[in-house]
Amino acid sequence: MAMVASPQNHSGFQAGGTRRPELVVALDTPSLAKAEEWVKSLAGLVHWFKVGLELYTAAGPAALQLPPKYGGYVFWDAKLHDIPHTVAEAARQAVRAGVKMLTVHAAGGPAMVAAAVAACREEAAVQGRTPPLVVAVTVLTSLSTETLVQLGLGADPARIGAMWALLAVDAGADGVVAAVPDVAKIRAQVGRRALIVTPGIRPAGGPGTGAATDGPDDQVRVATPAAARAAGSDFVVVGRPITRAKDPVQAALSILTELGEPG
């Protein structure tokens, strides 16, 4: 798989946003059978698959076993946000399930993030495994500036994202999840020591056939694959533009082309 420039973190992945980002396909469906269809067809072309709240709630831990069945890696987008002890115990379960990347909420605070990281490393040592990457969600792509003001956070999502990113990375997180428009300020804060995962990716040619036929597109801060690479993303997460396309393989190939050549 294509890696990004140094430095390496404890899991061997490299951060910096100077090479083609890894494509992560979001398995956003309540159907384990449909998710398996997508993984099977994309295996080999795509290495990473995101299991989010919808699929995990419907299928449980079986969803986390699906990508490895076809040689893929699991990005469990659990968005853990609770007291540190509870988050740490959930993180231990992620290690036992073989998850390779796990999300927590930066808004849970440095102590919570640190607890998740420590639990992952401790449990990985017990299991004889490499600990999963722990990435902290900053400002959701669905949050507009108006909503942020309503929440009392201010009107600059990039400023908030950069502040939360620094707190999370200083607490031990391997990286953060952020909208593409926020990446520049986040890089200025954390430099190349942290991975940046960007959702809200939309292909330049449009969302793809059938991309929004199963519900509204509620992400308001979106960007193209090329813009994500230019901003310095290390991973890009794409769901419906691939999975709801008439030909998911061709849709994935098109997005990889937009991301540019590995290097």
Pick the more confident residue, 193 or 255.
Answer: 255
List pLDDT tens digits, range 44-73.
899 999 999 999 999 999 999 999 999 999
List pLDDT tens digits, range 17-54.
557 899 999 999 999 999 999 999 999 899 999 999 99
Would residue 13 count as lying in a domain? no
246 labelled catalytic: no
CATH number for position 41: 3.20.20.70
Overall number of domains in the chain: 1
Would residue 164 count as lying in a domain? yes
Would residue 16 count as lying in a domain? no
CB-facing half-sphere around the CA of 136: CA atoms within 13 A = 33
Q: State the pTM of this model.
A: 0.86
pLDDT of residue 135: 97
Would residue 258 count as lying in a domain? no
Band (257; pLDDT cuts 50, 70, 90): very high
Domain that holds residue 178: 22-252
pLDDT of residue 204: 77
Would residue 263 count as lying in a domain? no
Sign of the Cα torsion 241, 243, 101, 257 reads negative
Band (4; pLDDT cuts 50, 70, 90): very low
DSSP string, 34-103: HHHHHHHHHBTTB-EEEE-HHHHHHHTTHHHHHHHHTT-EEEEEEEE-S-HHHHHHHHHHHHHTT-SEEE
Would residue 259 count as lying in a domain? no
Helix, strand, or coil (residue 162): helix
* Catalytic one of 34, 40, 50, 79: 79
Would residue 186 count as lying in a domain? yes
pLDDT > 70 in the chain, percent: 86
List pLDDT tens digits, range 211-256.
444 444 555 667 899 999 999 999 999 999 999 999 999 999 999 9
